[in-house]
């Protein structure tokens, strides 16, 4: 059936809660209102306020409570209203959730999912547009996921809920209501439906740690995830270059096998992500490609990213990579 990412995430919650009464869903405005983006709409009405409920405005309290619940057998799925709000809870995530299995010698686990709308594209300004994925990929004990389409949003979320360890689930809000017009740097109104994605109605999981080749090619490999999957496709079309585009889907664990096979085939690699460049996840990808594929490379690994500045509201559509910037860098790499 046809769904937006919002509908796919809501459907995943519904199926998980129906399947396992240990799954609980909570966060700010998550219960009665159904979430600020409506990803939990109808869940409280269907499953009751003991399984889907609202919390105070305290990210530290939300995550701290969820860790305790997870340690004692529940499967909490919590929503941080915007990824920008997660910082008060960062100590709980890093010091408690990520380390619980190891510091207890396996006596306790933390089957916790922390969902967060991430990235820009909706004119949210500095406090509603950040892309903090590298803050989590650096932390041993966490898995970090970012889907680019409704099918994967549902399957990856169900896989994350099944996982016995904590999963950071980042949702590109620019794609919430359908793919944007990737051939033009036009914003999408977040509450207006666009083209939908095909999503199976049944319960299914998409394996964590497995990338997808969304476009086969032979000249250059593009490594990307989330919103930038669509930007990369538009950029490759604009450049007229036979690029192989890999949607990583899961950043940690990372599908190194698919990455290495592609770069060894093409001999070139361009990395595209929305977050700032310095110490972004692209730096880790670049190091991986350089160390694993050095003797196959015909050009330096190139990164196309957001600026190394605080998020600029007025210049939002210049800040993150668009098709023109991707196309420019693809042409440059091919000239080497």
Active-site residues, by number, are: 128
Residues 249 and 292: their CA atoms lie apart, in Å, by: 20
Q: Are 36 and 29 in contact (CB under 8 A)?
A: yes
Pair 175, 146: CB distance under 8 Å: no
User: Which tokens is 133 given?
Assistant: 């994925």
- Residues 319, 311 contacting (CB under 8 angstroms): yes
Chain Cα centroid distance, residue 307: 19
DSSP E strand boundaries for the chain: 2-3, 23-27, 52-54, 75-79, 113-118, 143-145, 167-172, 197-198, 212-215, 220-224, 243-247, 250-252, 269-276, 302-306
d(CA 160, CA 9): 12
**DSSP letter at 96?**
I
Looking up tokens 């305790």 gives: 68
By CB neighbour count within 10 A (0-12 exposed, 13-18 middle, 19+ buried), where does 88 fall? Answer: middle
């Amino acid at each position: 059936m046809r769904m937006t990412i919002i509908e796919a995430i809501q459907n995943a919650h519904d199926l998980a809660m129906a399947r396992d009464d240990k799954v609980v869903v909570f966060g700010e405005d998550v219960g009665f209102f159904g979430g600020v983006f409506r990803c939990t709409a109808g869940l409280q009405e269907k499953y009751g306020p003991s399984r889907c409920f609202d919390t105070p405005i305290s990210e530290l309290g939300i995550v701290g409570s969820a860790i305790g619940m997870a340690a004692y057998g529940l499967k909490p799925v919590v929503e941080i209203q915007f990824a920008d709000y997660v910082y008060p809870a960062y100590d709980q995530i890093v010091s408690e959730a990520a380390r619980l299995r190891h510091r207890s010698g396996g006596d306790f686990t933390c089957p916790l999912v922390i969902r967060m709308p991430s990235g820009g594209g909706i004119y949210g300004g500095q406090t509603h547009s950040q892309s903090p994925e590298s803050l989590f990929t650096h932390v041993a004990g966490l898995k970090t996921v970012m889907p680019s389409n409704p099918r994967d949003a549902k399957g990856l979320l169900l896989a994350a809920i099944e996982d016995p360890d904590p999963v950071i689930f980042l949702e590109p809000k620019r794609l919430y209501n359908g793919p944007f017009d990737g051939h033009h740097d036009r914003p999408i109104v977040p509450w207006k439906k666009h083209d939908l994605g095909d999503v199976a109605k049944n319960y299914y999981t998409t394996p964590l740690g497995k990338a997808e080749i969304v476009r086969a090619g032979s000249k250059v490999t593009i490594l990307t995830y989330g919103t930038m999957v669509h930007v990369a496709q538009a950029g490759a079309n604009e450049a007229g270059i036979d690029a192989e585009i890999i949607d990583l889907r899961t950043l940690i664990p990372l599908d190194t096998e698919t990455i290495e096979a592609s770069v060894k085939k093409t001999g070139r690699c361009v990395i595209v992500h929305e977050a700032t460049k310095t110490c972004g996840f692209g730096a880790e990808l670049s190091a991986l490609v350089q160390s694993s594929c050095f003797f196959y490379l015909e050009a330096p690994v190139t990164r196309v990213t957001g600026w190394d500045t605080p998020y600029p509201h007025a210049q939002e559509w210049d800040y993150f990579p668009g098709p023109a910037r991707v196309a420019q860098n693809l042409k440059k790499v091919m000239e080497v």
